Amino acid sequence: MKPSMTERIYMAGVYLSLTVVALLCLLPLMHIASLSTSSLQAVSAGRVSLFPVEITFAAYSQLFERSPIASSLTNSVIITLVGVTLSMAFTILAAYPLSRTYFRGRRVFMLGIVFTMLFNGGLIPTYLTIRNLELINTYWALWLPGLVSVFNLLVLRTFIENIPGEIDEASRMDGCGEWRYLLRIVLPLSMPVLATLALFYGVGYWNSFFSVLMYINEPDKYNIAVLVQQMIQSQVMLAQMNGLESSEQLILSPDMVNSAAIIIMVLPMLIVYPFLQKYFVKGVMIGAVKG
Digit-coded pLDDT (tens) for 154-204: 989 988 888 887 887 888 787 778 888 888 888 888 888 898 899 889 989
Q: Predicted confidence band at 18 (pLDDT cuts at 50, 70, 90)?
A: very high
Least confident of 26-30, 34-38, 268-272, 287-291: 287-291
What is the average pLDDT across 235-255? 56
pLDDT value at position 180? 86
Distance CA 222, CA 78 (A): 11
pLDDT at 103 over 80: yes
For the domain made up of 57-286, give the CATH fold: MetI-like fold (1.10.3720)
Of all residues in the chain, the percent with pLDDT exceeding 70 is: 88
Question: In the chain, what are the domain boundaries?
Answer: 1-56, 57-286
For 93-114, the DSSP string reads HHHHHHH-TTSTTHHHHHHHHH
Q: Predicted confidence band at 67 (pLDDT cuts at 50, 70, 90)?
A: confident
pLDDT value at position 2? 76
The reported pTM is 0.81
pLDDT at 216 over 60: yes
pLDDT value at position 272? 81
pLDDT value at position 248? 39
Q: Predicted confidence band at 290 (pLDDT cuts at 50, 70, 90)?
A: very low
Whole-angstrom CA distances from 135 to 88, 106, 149 are 21, 31, 20
Q: Predicted confidence band at 21 (pLDDT cuts at 50, 70, 90)?
A: very high
What angle do helix axes 58-66 and 69-99 make, rounded to 10 degrees? Answer: 80
Contact 149, 117 (CB under 8 A): no
Contact 56, 39 (CB under 8 A): yes
Distance CA 56, CA 201 (A): 35
Instruction: Please give the residue that has the higher pLDDT: either 278 or 268.
Output: 268
Instruction: Please give the residue that has the higher pLDDT: either 87 or 271.
Output: 87
Q: How far is CA 176 from the centre of its chain?
A: 36
Digit-coded pLDDT (tens) for 45-54: 888 888 888 8
Q: How far is CA 49 from the centre of its chain?
A: 28
pLDDT value at position 66? 78
pLDDT value at position 1? 66
What is the average pLDDT across 6-25? 91
Distance CA 31, CA 126 (A): 39
Angle at 128 between CA 125 and CA 133, to 5 degrees: 125
Other CB atoms within 10 Å distance of the CB of residue 154 = 19
pLDDT value at position 275? 75
Q: Predicted confidence band at 88 (pLDDT cuts at 50, 70, 90)?
A: very high
pLDDT at 266 over 60: yes
